[in-house]
């Protein structure tokens, strides 16, 4: 019976290899360019291994700058261009984003070097797992649903301590509706982690991640990591892709009241990320959206999540 419950608790998107682009569908770079990218990636992985050793002893500002720089440099090494739109609040926040690819982690860290909430399996990923652990990632064991309340408490404690935290509340990757015709454009946001923001009195900032091929001008699933796909195969598609762009759009912050319903908060954030309409009851009197594109005076001592958010940034590969 326990095994059945665990399986039901594990999120599943229904996206599989049919959602991935067919051979020849995505423009690619020549083989010599791919080799150069692989060399650059190997260099960034070596740098990341060294950084994982240094992170625990670095002061917070230097640690954040180092993580941000490594994430941006690694994205460039893969040949990915990163575009950031919007402004993050200057106070601690729970960042919530849709989930498409392993590249999502680099994209979020390039915007804001936060503590991440990630599945336990990420801990065993080459280099990225070491960095994640060194950066204080909160790992979730999806085979033990009873451990979820303790995980939520850890996220709450981090927010109360002034540390921003990022989570992918869909719980698994989706193809973003650009694959098989019956695939939904993203999944529902699970509400558990939103309780941490309510308990800590922290805003929730939705992040919308989107991947496109600049050559064709259309969305692409070239970077997607779905179903039985392996990490190496997904990385190989990214290395081969020509002019792959990931955009991170920072939506308006949601400020939950102390008695906010985490399910309504999750629904409001999901609507902001997937651009779906949400019933007025979801936010009326309980959530207070504040446009993050408007400059807001903050105390000089308030730590900025990123120094260059607030305008569109195009970080070319």
Mean of the per-residue pLDDT values for the chain?
79
Q: How far is Cα 211 from Cα 221, in angstroms, rounded to an integer? A: 7
The CATH number of whichever domain residue 51 belongs to comes to: 3.40.1130
Residue 3: enclosing H or E segment and its boundaries?
helix 2-9
Nearest to 260 by CA among 190, 193, 194: 194
Number of domains in the chain: 1
Domain annotation covers residue 298: no
pLDDT tens-place string over residues 201-257: 999 999 999 999 999 888 888 888 887 788 888 999 999 999 999 999 999 999 999
Question: For the chain, how many helices (H) and strands (E)?
Answer: 9, 11
Indicate if the pLDDT at residue 175 is higher than 80: no
Domain annotation covers residue 95: yes
The 3-state DSSP class for residue 130 equals helix
DSSP-assigned beta bridge partners for residue 208 = 249
Domain annotation covers residue 1: no
Indicate if the pLDDT at residue 53 is higher than 90: no
Q: How far is Cα 41 from Cα 236, in angstroms, rounded to an integer? A: 11
DSSP-assigned beta bridge partners for residue 314 = 83
SS (H, E, C) 36-52: HHHHHHHHHHHHHHHHH
Domain annotation covers residue 106: yes
Out of 146-150, 159-163, 254-258, which region has the weakest mean confidence (pLDDT)?
A: 146-150
Q: Which domain holds residue 43?
A: 26-293+307-315
Domain annotation covers residue 4: no
Which parts of 174-242 are beta strand (E)?
204-213, 218-219
Indicate if the pLDDT at residue 130 is higher than 90: no
Domain annotation covers residue 12: no
Domain annotation covers residue 248: yes
Domain annotation covers residue 112: yes
Indicate if the pLDDT at residue 182 is higher than 60: no
């Amino acid at each position: 019976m326990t095994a059945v419950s665990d399986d039901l608790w594990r999120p599943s998107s229904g996206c599989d290899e049919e959602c991935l682009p067919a051979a020849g569908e995505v423009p690619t770079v020549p083989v010599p360019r791919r080799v150069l990218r692989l060399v650059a990636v190997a260099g960034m992985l070596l740098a990341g291994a060294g950084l994982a050793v240094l992170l625990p002893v670095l002061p917070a500002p230097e640690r954040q700058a180092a993580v941000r720089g490594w994430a941006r440099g690694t994205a460039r090494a893969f040949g990915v261009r990163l575009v950031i739109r919007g402004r993050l609040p200057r106070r601690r926040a729970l960042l919530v984003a849709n989930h498409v690819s392993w590249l999502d982690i680099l994209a979020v860290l390039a915007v804001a070097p936060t503590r991440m909430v990630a599945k336990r399996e990420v801990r065993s990923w080459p280099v990225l797992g070491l960095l994640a652990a060194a950066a204080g990632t909160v790992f979730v064991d999806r085979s033990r649903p009873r451990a979820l309340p303790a995980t939520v408490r850890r996220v709450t404690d981090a927010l109360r301590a002034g540390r921003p935290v990022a989570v992918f509340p869909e719980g698994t990757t989706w193809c973003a509706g650009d694959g098989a015709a019956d695939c939904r454009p993203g999944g529902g946001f699970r509400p558990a982690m939103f309780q941490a923001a309510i308990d800590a009195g922290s805003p929730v900032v939705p992040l919308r991640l989107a991947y496109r091929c600049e050559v064709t001008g259309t969305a692409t699933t070239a970077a997607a990591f779905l179903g039985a796909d392996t990490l190496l195969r997904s990385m190989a598609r990214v290395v081969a892709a020509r002019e792959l762009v990931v955009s991170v759009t920072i939506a308006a912050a949601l400020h939950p009241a102390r008695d906010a319903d985490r399910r309504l908060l999750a629904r409001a954030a999901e609507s902001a990320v997937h651009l779906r309409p949400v019933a007025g009851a979801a936010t009326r009197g309980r959530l207070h959206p504040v446009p993050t594109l408007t400059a807001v005076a903050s105390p000089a001592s308030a730590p900025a999540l990123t120094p260059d958010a607030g305008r569109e940034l195009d970080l070319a590969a």
